[in-house]
């Protein structure tokens, strides 16, 4: 039976068919990859080989030639598809009793991040002792099945965010060699290597907010530009006249240039690669606004950022991780320290329990 179809089924009168299907399914006996066969006034449900039927199933177990079955349409919900793909892999690759299979199945990831044709699983996926044991006992892991179930070509797994300045390793590839991706969000194309750079979906509201600003005629300094999370929306959607993008990581800078080229805005971008303690002082008095997008804090660059503003002043977008109960006080203190007034306070996302990533828009009416 080369197509994996079952060799037996449970034959029940149609009137009992739904009740029996539910029992078989709850007990993990139903092979959902196949449609039931109609046999006069009876239905025959496909069941997995080698499993004993639950006691409340009163249908008759019969032999069925594998070619009798036709494949069921794939379920629409990706969580179901993932679970079923892993279940089929378990049945063919792992010698495990039903209880262990259920435990493994209950530990299948419930969320993931899609970057075009690449899906990134969270760092704790398939990392339990039970899964580690199952994977080391199998001749090959279920990555191809998982990618197919999630309609992806490539599969990766997020690493714990490195605590180094440039946030070096971000993910490892499980299926597919390259982590290069091109993602379009609100009409803006971002390009990066997902194994190296982080593309935080949690920052999406802030990316959109920066892109919604009317920046026509403005010069912007992005002090921590990365692959262009804010630089590209400001150029493409905000229509900024020019963005000076600073970053210490040459790889991130190279990807930002590729992103700018993909959007056709590279002629309005100047890149300054190096520590912004050195690059910002060379940009004194040029900017209508400065973006300070580094977590947990961008504090070391605040003074230089104020000096980047034009003599008539401008805006600072200060990112910071702040304890929930300190947010209002922090905003007041920060605006005062920068010699400006609060224009807006954006709560972007929870960074950790009780700690929020916030962005404070400070208007400084006179540059230094």
Ligand X SMILES: C[S@@+](CC[C@H](N)C(=O)[O-])C[C@H]1O[C@@H](n2cnc3c(N)ncnc32)[C@H](O)[C@@H]1O
CB of 219 to ligand X, least distance (A): 19
Choose one: 19-27, 46-54, 289-297, 322-330; the region binding ligand X (CB under 6 A). 289-297
Residue 161 in the binding site for ligand X (CB under 6 A)? no
Task: Note whether 148 binds ligand X by CB under 6 A.
Answer: no
Nearer to ligand X, 16 or 185 (CB): 185
Q: Does 228 bind ligand X (CB under 6 A)?
A: no
8 A C-beta contact, residue 120 and residue 132? no
- In degrees and rounded to multiples of 5, residue 186 shows phi and psi of 50, 40
Whole-number Å distance between alpha carbons of 347 and 331:
12
Residue 48 in contact with ligand X, rule: CB under 6 A: no
Count of residues of this chain found to bind ligand X when the rule CB under 6 A is applied: 20
Nearest Cα to Cα of residue 231 among 281, 199, 194, 268: 268
| Burial class, 97, CB count within 10 angstroms (exposed 0-12 / middle 13-18 / buried 19+) | exposed
Quick check: 252 binds ligand X (CB under 6 A)? yes
CB 292 within 8 A of CB 223: yes
Selected binder of ligand X within 173, 183, 248, 355 (CB under 6 A)? 248
Q: Which stretch binds ligand X (CB under 6 A): 101-109, 174-182, 208-216, 287-295?
A: 287-295
Distance in angstroms (rounded) separating the CA atoms of residues 54 and 226: 56
Give the β-pairing of 314-323 and 341-352.
unpaired
CB of 153 to ligand X, least distance (A): 25
Whether 335 and 350 have beta carbons less than 8 Å apart is answered as no
Q: CA–CA separation, 201 vs 189, rounded Å?
A: 14
Whose Cβ is closer to ligand X: residue 16's or residue 275's?
A: 275
Place of tokens 């050195």: 278
Pick from 7, 200, 284, 297 the residue near ligand X by CB under 6 A. Answer: 200
Determine which residue in the list 45, 89, 224, 302 makes contact with ligand X, applying CB under 6 A: 224
Query: According to the binding rule CB under 6 A, does residue 317 interact with ligand X?
Result: no
Residue range at the interface with ligand X (CB under 6 A); choices 21-29, 42-50, 119-127, 163-171: 163-171
**319 contacts ligand X (rule: CB under 6 A):** yes
CA 340, CA 313: separation in Å to the nearest integer? 9
Dist CA 105 CA 291 (whole Å):
44
The residues binding ligand X (CB under 6 A) are 165-167, 198, 200, 203, 224, 226, 229, 246-249, 252, 275-276, 293-295, 319
């Amino acid at each position: 039976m080369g197509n994996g179809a079952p060799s037996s089924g449970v034959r029940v009168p149609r009137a009992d068919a739904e009740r029996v299907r539910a029992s078989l399914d709850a007990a993990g006996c139903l092979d959902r990859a196949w449609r039931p066969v109609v046999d006069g006034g009876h239905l025959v449900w496909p069941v997995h080989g080698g499993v004993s039927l639950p006691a409340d199933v009163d249908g008759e177990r019969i032999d069925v030639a594998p070619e009798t079955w036709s494949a069921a349409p794939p379920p629409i919900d990706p969580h179901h598809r993932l679970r079923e793909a892993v279940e089929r892999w378990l049945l063919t690759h792992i010698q495990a009793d039903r209880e262990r299979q259920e435990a493994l199945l209950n530990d299948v990831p419930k969320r993931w991040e899609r970057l075009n044709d690449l899906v990134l699983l969270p760092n704790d996926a398939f990392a339990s002792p039970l899964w580690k044991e199952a994977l080391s006992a199998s001749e090959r892991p279920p990555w191809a099945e998982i990618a197919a179930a999630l309609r992806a070509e490539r599969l990766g797994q997020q690493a714990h965010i490195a605590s180094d300045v440039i946030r070096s390793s971000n993910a490892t590839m499980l299926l597919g060699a390259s982590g290069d991706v091109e993602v379009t969000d609100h009409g803006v194309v971002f390009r990066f290597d997902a194994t190296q750079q982080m593309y935080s979906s949690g920052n999406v509201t802030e990316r959109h907010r920066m892109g919604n600003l009317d920046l026509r005629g403005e010069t912007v300094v992005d002090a921590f530009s990365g692959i262009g999370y804010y630089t590209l929306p400001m150029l493409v959607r905000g229509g900024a006249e020019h963005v000076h993008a600073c970053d210490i990581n040459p790889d991130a800078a190279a990807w930002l240039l590729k992103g700018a080229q993909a959007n056709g805005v590279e002629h309005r971008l100047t890149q300054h690669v190096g520590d912004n303690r050195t690059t910002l002082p060379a940009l004194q008095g040029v900017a209508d606004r400065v973006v300070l997008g580094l977590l947990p804090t961008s504090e070391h660059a605040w003074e230089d950022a104020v000096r980047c503003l034009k003599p008539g002043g401008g805006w600072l977008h200060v990112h910071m991780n702040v304890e929930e109960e300190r947010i209002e006080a922090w905003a007041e203190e920060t605006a005062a320290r920068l010699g400006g007034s609060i224009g807006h306070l954006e709560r972007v996302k929870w960074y950790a329990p009780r700690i929020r990533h916030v962005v404070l828009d400070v208007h400084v009416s006179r540059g230094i």
